[in-house]
Amino acid sequence: MTDADLVRKTIAGDISAYALLAQRWSARITALCHAKTRRADVADDLAQETLLRGFRAEKGS
C-alpha cells in the first residue's frame, strides 16, 4: 500500500493506517531532527511531537 493510500485511509478515519505511516516515516523524521539538533534525546522528542501533531491535525484536535 502506498503512502497516498494510507493518507486517504487516515483521512477516512482509519487509525491503523496512520500508525503504519508513522512506523514508515518515524526513522526518517528522527534522522532529520537529529541532523538539525545533533542531540538524540531532543531529536526523539521532536520526532514524537511531529507525529503526534500530524495525528491531531487529522483528527481536528
- 26: Cβ–Cβ under 8 A, 6 or more apart, which residues? 47, 51
pLDDT of res. 61: 60
pLDDT of res. 60: 67
Element (H, E) at 20: helix 15-37
Q: What is the pLDDT along the chain (61 residues), one digit of tens a residue?
A: 999 999 999 999 999 999 999 999 999 999 999 999 999 999 999 999 999 999 888 766 6
DSSP conformational letter for 2: -
Q: Residue 38: which domain range?
A: 3-59
Cβ-based burial of 38 (10 A; exposed 0-12, middle 13-18, buried ≥19):
exposed
Into how many domains does the chain fold?
Answer: 1
pLDDT of res. 57: 85
Tell me, what amino acid is at 40?
Answer: A
pLDDT of res. 42: 98
